[in-house]
Structure 1
Amino acid sequence: MSFLKSCTLFIAVIAFTALFSGCGKGEPIENADQYISTVDLMDIPDDVEVIGLGEATHGNIEFQELKKQVFETLIKKENVRVFILEGDFGGGQQINNYIVNGEGTAEAVVNSLDYSIYKTKQMMDLVQWMHDYNESVKEDEKIRFYGNDMQRYDFSKKELFAYYAGVNKEVANKYAEQLNHVSNETMRELTTEKLEKVDDTVDDIIGDLQSNKAEYLEKSSPEDFAFATAYAQNMKQRAQLFLNEENYTHLRDQYLAENLQWIIEYEKKRGNDKVFFTGHNGHVEKTSASAAGYKSMGNYLDEIYGTKYFAIGTDFINSEFQAKSDDSGSRKVFTVENHNELVDAFSGVEENIFYVDFEMSRESAELETILSSEQKMANIGDDFRSWYKLLKMFYTIEMVPDQAYDSIIIVKNATPTKMFELN
Structure 2
Amino acid sequence: MKNKKTRRFKIRYIVFGLLGVMALAALVFMRFGGFGTGKNVNPEEFLAYAEPVENITVPESAKIIALGEATHGNAEFQQLKLEVFKQMVKNNGVRAFALEGDYGGCEQVNRYIHGGEGTAQEAAAAIGFSIYRTEEMAELISYMRQYNESALEGEDLRFYGFDMQRISYSMRFLKESCKELEVDTTNLQKLVEGENWSSECDLSTRIETLTQVKKELESKNGSENAIHFVDILMQHSELQTLTNADGATLRDQFMAENVQWILQQEQRNGHEKIFVTGHNSHVAKWGSSDSMGKLLSKDAANGYYVIGTDFYKTHCNMPTRSPEKRTIQVFYSHDPLAKAAKLAGFDICWLDFTKVPENSELGRQASEYTYMGTLGESYSIIMRLLPPSYRMFQPPAVLYDSMIFVTDANPTKILEE
Shorter-chain TM range is 0.7 to 0.9
1:366 Cα shift?
Answer: 0.8
* 2:199 pairs with 1:190: yes
1:23 Cα shift?
Answer: 8.0
* 2:191 pairs with 1:179: yes
1:20 Cα shift?
Answer: 5.2
1:409 Cα shift?
Answer: 0.2
Name the CA distance, whole Å, in 1 between partners of 2:299 and 2:150.
35
Contact 2:121/2:135 (8 A) holds in 1 = no
Larger Rg: 2
Which residue is 1:59 aligned to?
A: 73
Alignment of 1:75-94 (within 5 A): 75-94=89-108
* 2:214 pairs with 1:206: yes
Name the CA distance, whole Å, in 2 between partners of 1:22 and 1:340.
12
1:33 Cα shift?
Answer: 2.3
1:138 Cα shift?
Answer: 1.5
* 2:315 pairs with 1:320: yes
Question: Quick one: which amino acid aligns to residue 47 of structure 1?
Answer: S
Name the CA distance, whole Å, in 1 between partners of 2:46 and 2:167.
47
Name the CA distance, whole Å, in 2 between partners of 1:177 and 1:45.
48
Which residue is 1:302 aligned to?
A: 297
Which residue is 1:253 aligned to?
A: 252
Which residue is 2:14 aligned to?
A: none
Which residue is 2:267 aligned to?
A: 268
For residue 368 of structure 2, give the secondary structure of its aligned residue in structure 1: coil
Q: What is the percentage of aligned positions where both structures have the same residue? A: 34
Q: Structure 1 pair 21/269, CA: closer, same or farther in 2 (3 Å)? A: farther
Name the CA distance, whole Å, in 2 between partners of 1:318 and 1:268.
40
1:259 Cα shift?
Answer: 0.5
Which residue is 1:95 aligned to?
A: 109
Which residue is 2:276 aligned to?
A: 277
In the alignment of these two chains, the number of paired residues is: 391
Name the CA distance, whole Å, in 2 between partners of 1:358 and 1:272.
27
The equivalent position to 2:230 in structure 1, one of 209, 232, 235, is: 232
For residue 243 of structure 1, give the secondary structure of its aligned residue in structure 2: coil
Bigger mean CA deviation after superposition, 116-125 or 303-312: 303-312
1:56 Cα shift?
Answer: 0.4
Unaligned runs of 5+ in 1: 1-10, 218-223
For residue 389 of structure 1, give the secondary structure of its aligned residue in structure 2: helix
Contact 2:188/2:209 (8 A) holds in 1 = no
Contact 1:22/1:392 (8 A) holds in 2 = no
For residue 298 of structure 2, give the secondary structure of its aligned residue in structure 1: helix
Bigger mean CA deviation after superposition, 264-273 or 382-391: 382-391
* 2:350 pairs with 1:355: yes
Contact 2:66/2:275 (8 A) holds in 1 = yes
Contact 2:45/2:362 (8 A) holds in 1 = no
Question: Quick one: which amino acid aligns to residue 199 of structure 1?
Answer: I
User: CA-to-partner distance for each residue in 1:333-384, whole Å, 9 max, x for gaps?
Assistant: 1110121222223232222111111111236701111111001111100111
Contact 1:39/1:73 (8 A) holds in 2 = no
How does the TM-score come out when normalised to structure 2? 0.88
Q: Structure 1 pair 22/208, CA: closer, same or farther in 2 (3 Å)? A: farther
* 2:384 pairs with 1:389: yes
* 2:333 pairs with 1:334: no
For residue 342 of structure 2, give the secondary structure of its aligned residue in structure 1: coil
Question: Quick one: which amino acid aligns to residue 226 of structure 1?
Answer: E
Q: Structure 1 pair 390/141, CA: closer, same or farther in 2 (3 Å)? A: same
Alignment of 1:125-204 (within 5 A): 125-169=139-183, 171-172=184-185, 174-181=186-193, 183=195, 186-187=196-197, 190-191=199-200, 193-204=201-212
For residue 287 of structure 1, give the secondary structure of its aligned residue in structure 2: coil
Bigger mean CA deviation after superposition, 20-29 or 397-406: 20-29
Name the CA distance, whole Å, in 1 between partners of 2:353 and 2:292.
21
User: CA-to-partner distance for each residue in 1:372-422, whole Å, 9 max, x for gaps?
Assistant: 100111110011123303222211111111110000000000000011222
Bigger mean CA deviation after superposition, 132-141 or 258-267: 132-141
Q: Structure 1 pair 22/238, CA: closer, same or farther in 2 (3 Å)? A: farther
The equivalent position to 1:119 in structure 2, one of 130, 133, 142, is: 133
Contact 2:41/2:336 (8 A) holds in 1 = yes
Name the CA distance, whole Å, in 1 between partners of 2:140 and 2:132.
11
Question: Quick one: which amino acid aligns to residue 240 of structure 1?
Answer: E
Contact 2:120/2:141 (8 A) holds in 1 = yes
Which residue is 1:241 aligned to?
A: 239
Contact 1:89/1:234 (8 A) holds in 2 = yes
1:111 Cα shift?
Answer: 1.4
Name the CA distance, whole Å, in 1 between partners of 2:109 and 2:343.
40
Contact 2:321/2:378 (8 A) holds in 1 = yes
Name the CA distance, whole Å, in 2 between partners of 1:236 and 1:307.
24
* 2:362 pairs with 1:367: yes
Name the CA distance, whole Å, in 1 between partners of 2:276 and 2:323.
30
For residue 106 of structure 2, give the secondary structure of its aligned residue in structure 1: helix
Q: Structure 1 pair 350/380, CA: closer, same or farther in 2 (3 Å)? A: same
Bigger mean CA deviation after superposition, 347-356 or 126-135: 347-356
1:160 Cα shift?
Answer: 0.9
